[in-house]
Amino acid sequence: MYLDPNNVSEFNGHFFGLSSSVEEANLIYLSIPWDVTTSYGEGTAKGAQAILEASYEPEWYDFDYPDIWQVPRATLPISSEIAQKNQKLRSLAQKVIQHLENGGTTDDEAIAKELQTVNQASIELNDWVYQQAQQLIKQNKLMGLIGGDHSVPLGYMKALAEHYPSYGILQIDAHADLRNGYEGFIYSHASIMYHALQIPAITHLIQVGIRDVCQAEIELIQTDNRIVAFDDWQLKDRAFAGITWAQQCQEIIAKLPPLVYISFDIDGLSPEFCPNTGTPVPGGLQFNEAIYLLCEVVKAGKTIIGFDLCEVAPGNDEWDGNVGARLLYKLSNLTIASQQRH
Ligand SMILES: [Mn+2]
């Protein structure tokens, strides 16, 4: 197919208009319109669609990798079945959250059925993501997963764990996501890394930008030697004391194993870049700091085996989607570039 880099194409349902077939593509985008367990602001189920629509804005030229847009990519259609299921389950989850806000507990009979239905549906979603990822990985495809809330990549992480003997996760996030369930939801957006650490192949979890955590999460960080947290307070304290971001990035990268999965929760960035995300927290990384870190990961010789981008939620304008699209493009290019060395 002929693509003209000087004239971005008409909307064709593919991210960035880069519309190869799945067969010829090196990188496949899988979107998950799911935000069932979202506790605060909703809307991340529409994040992938917002990124998709905004993805026609950025130019294809990448200053680090000028020709990389030519590497074929394909976009799987956003499942309307999952979107509909999400809609139905959200109202059940809302009932649970409402019950808890009114002083009830997760053990109450009044919400037992709702909790069970939501938890079962989350297991089914994880299985579905696992199947999709496994099929693509078997064909030697790279995959980029777009949320949805941060509960969605677990199946993908499991599929990667079957393909690679071991790997590490670089998590950029305002939250540690190490809760053993949240509000009765076993597969909550606040629990993704708790579940990831149950996968034996995941040997490292390096967290960057976290700044909103509970006591139990801190205890897990301190006792599980697979986890290293570069929390936002520490990063900023050291920056104020004159330690450069370049130096701090090298310290972060030194903790990573050779194979790296990137889990990017958009709320790891400063809220000016994600004003409509589900649980925004002041502080966080600047857009360019995040990009710099990711570029350095690749320059350091690490191989990115896959990534997710979660928690983008659209507002009344295109901004959240626009930032998400630019981040998705860079994540994609860096993943491809890190693989091309082999
Ligand atoms: Mn998260």
Query: Could you say which DSSP state residue 185 is in?
Result: B
User: How close is the Cα of 263 to the center of ligand 1, in Å?
Assistant: 8
Look up residue 49 and give its amino acid.
Answer: Q
User: How close is the Cα of 341 to the center of ligand 1, in Å?
Assistant: 30
Q: How far apart are CA 97 and CA 37, in angstroms?
A: 9
User: How close is the Cα of 147 to the center of ligand 1, in Å?
Assistant: 11
Residues 290, 327 contacting (CB under 8 angstroms): yes
User: How close is the Cα of 153 to the center of ligand 1, in Å?
Assistant: 11
Q: Is 90 exceeded by the pLDDT of residue 39?
A: no
Query: Could you say which DSSP state residue 8 is in?
Result: P
Q: Is 172 helix (H, G, I), strand (E, B) or coil?
A: strand
User: How many CA atoms lie less than 13 Å away from 278 in the CB half-sphere?
Assistant: 29
Please name each of the domains of the chain with its CATH number.
15-340 (3.40.800.10)
User: How close is the Cα of 174 to the center of ligand 1, in Å?
Assistant: 7
User: How close is the Cα of 54 to the center of ligand 1, in Å?
Assistant: 22
pLDDT by residue (tens digit) across 101-151?
A: 999 999 999 999 999 999 999 999 999 999 999 999 999 999 999 999 999
User: How close is the Cα of 256 to the center of ligand 1, in Å?
Assistant: 19
Q: How far apart are CA 111 and CA 91, in angstroms?
A: 12
Residues 245, 208 contacting (CB under 8 angstroms): no
97-100's contacts with Cβ under 8 Å and 24+ in sequence apart are: 97/39, 97/183, 100/183, 100/184
User: How close is the Cα of 264 to the center of ligand 1, in Å?
Assistant: 8
pLDDT by residue (tens digit) across 172-191?
A: 999 999 999 999 999 999 99
User: How close is the Cα of 175 to the center of ligand 1, in Å?
Assistant: 5
User: How close is the Cα of 86 to the center of ligand 1, in Å?
Assistant: 19
Q: What is the pLDDT of residue 2?
A: 66
User: How close is the Cα of 268 to the center of ligand 1, in Å?
Assistant: 8
Q: How far apart are CA 301 and CA 246, in angstroms?
A: 16
User: How close is the Cα of 211 to the center of ligand 1, in Å?
Assistant: 11
pLDDT by residue (tens digit) across 265-324?
A: 999 999 999 999 989 999 999 999 999 999 999 999 999 999 999 999 999 999 999 999
Residues 298, 342 contacting (CB under 8 angstroms): no
pTM value is 0.97
